[in-house]
Structure 1
């Protein structure tokens, strides 16, 4: 059966190939006879009707599409014409009316306090925080120039950060001098090699150490050391004989303290019409870097999660101390019963007693007892607690009242009292 189908398939293939030719036959002169065209059968009447109906439907769709497109174009044209008409009227009104100033979205921010300032203990001058380091240096060098040793030690104490590092520097310098006093004839105690590791770690990085060594009698010299030459601070033999001068330098190192610049309270009296709780503080009030500010929101989220965790007492205390150091300063407003406000600037770590004294200095009757309370009505009685611990940072409003025991006397004398019975008249001016 398979052979039969193969034979049939072969015959069909040969028939499709056309008429055959002999190998000896010359086919070059034979013309190719064209085939007669095959006439196509005409479609039936039903097919013609179906085709006409399809064409009619297509034409109807195209007409509806064109109608929609035309209506949309006319709507856009009408909107553009109306917009041009409105712009023409607006330009005409603007041309006839006087020009108005541009209104900005953001109004300039008015700070509640211009910044932080300090009172110099040597000159009593008020110095802005931005110029504090420069003022310290200039003030020390000009005010203490007649006492070189005191000037140098004051520089070490006042111009360097990190009290522990400063104390290590002072102790090391004092040890150098005490070794000389104990062994005035020993040459090795009169020399300090600059490349010495202890000297580099404890003294060399502190501003003012060179001024002190020079004031104490040391001078720089190049001396041989291990087959080379290195710089040394050397105290001459003549200076070693003046033991009293060395003792005086040791005494200065022991007793001199850093200059204490007090915060300028920048006392200000605000009228009752001023917004009490509207605080706009400068950046100096915050002890946060840019990265810390970015992390603050994440820390708040973490604190919510930590509230559901078990933590040791040491962990809680450590977190509380970190939170207390977030602010450098605080702006306190004291509100009196007549709605007058007394404003002052304080360090965040200052005690409440500083605010009590600040208020007392502003009172007419500074001898009368009074009470300070928070905005929530809680009495502030622990005077040795810092503003940060009391939550009065970076700004707060505190209420003032006379002590209840004398309120009756104050009320009885109110008729004969002056218009303002709280603040000194010169402050109100």
Structure 2
């Protein structure tokens, strides 16, 4: 376990720099040579090659600062929409606004009889940055919980340090980033809760207890998030269960069910379009299917062609048919033809006409997963 953490820490020493800075700045930092002999420090303006301040460089610095404020606004919008506990959102908001009741903040508010020393290490004054990152106890917690070398972020303000990590997690794949986000916030929360246990419950310092709190909150947060996904799935089903277009009435049990899909992609090099359609019968012979290339101007038009092809091919094979598609625009167009467009007008008219020649047709909006067989056929054909 210890060796694993050491290996993780080694990778974080360089990877953290790449994650916390843009590529250009990260390269400059990693390329900086540290002299073996001590030399006197001197002040330089970092935005010019000569190190001398100029009005032009000062202007561009202020201009970029305004852009940073726009990025900050975008970050807050994403943050308030994130699927984490509301108390965690308030907790992080207090950290960013320096409103958490740490010892230094309480002293600033003229609150007396406050012990200014960190209750974890009992050596340094308690500040937000010290408690959550710079304290050697907290640094060991970060190393154990996520393999983060917290000492490498000491040059940043604590709210910038936290925000950089949260932005990094957003750039990961959704599932991976979600897990890392929960683990990160749980670690901050675990340090804070154990700090309060020591102060208000007179508990002894116990790093194992911090790890227990972190693990417990990680499990609770992941369970909440998975429940939220289930609720979202149910909400999707509820909102789309009536999204279908039906002609006639089913009167037999021999209803054929087809899945359809279209694959459309614009070729940016030649400005041409590549399209293919496919359908597959889920009831009978698994080889009863179709896939072929077509010309189409849009993904919507391609999907309309796939439905029309399925109807045409099955018109004389059965009298009752269910067609599943993952395109809700086509279903709405079939229900309200007058709201259509020039690319699909005539296709929609033909679909409706063919449907009137059979006893029962139902076109249903379903999830992409339900039409995956047709989707794979269409994509393979388009790429062939």
- Structure (1 or 2) with the greater helix fraction: 2
User: Larger C-alpha radius of gyration, 1 or 2?
Assistant: 1
TM over 0.5: no
Bucket of the pairwise TM-score, normalised by the shorter protein: under 0.3
TM-score (norm 1): 0.21
TM-score (norm 2): 0.22
